[in-house]
Amino acid sequence: MAEKLVKKTDAEWKEELSPDAYQVLRKKGTEPPFSGKYYKTRLPGTYLCGACGNELFSSETKYDSGSGWPSYWAPIDQANVEIHTDRSHGMLRTEVVCARCGSHLGHVFEDGPRPTGQRYCINSLSLNFRPKEQEDE
């Protein structure tokens, strides 16, 4: 497991994040399907952790899974995310968290497209977006 580079108290996270983002990122909540601000985003760029700014997903791996959440077939770098078993809500799922700060991002499923066959189903509230034109500056 990667060492957490960003360590803050719960009170610090609560102060820095919006109430909705705090609920998802720090309390492992989920936004309603089809409600997230990045669900339909098609602009080129990079999706960052909404808590610490860690680079997580590229628009090049984003696709419309029909699930209601932004979906990606791979992270930018596998080292930027951690995978954990999630047995909450009476289900067995695979949770995805930010490797830098430990924030909850969403879940990964084995029903995605080629080349990986994975669907990283990520909450918009867990993300920030940096458009490609800002990356080129």
121 is catalytic: yes
**Which segments of the chain are extended strands (E)?**
45-49, 55-58, 62-63, 71-72, 81-86, 93-98, 104-109, 119-122, 127-131
Q: Which domains does the chain have, with CATH numbers?
A: 31-135 (2.170.150.20)
Phi (first) and psi of residue 105, to 5 degrees: -110, -40
Query: How many Cα atoms are found within 13 Å in the side-chain-facing hemisphere of 70?
Result: 30
Q: Which of 49, 52, 98, 121 is catalytic?
A: 121
Q: pTM (2 decimals)? A: 0.92
Spell out, as residue ranges, where the chain has pLDDT lower than 70: 1-4, 136-137
Summarize pLDDT for 103-120 with one digit per residue, the tens. 999 999 999 999 999 999
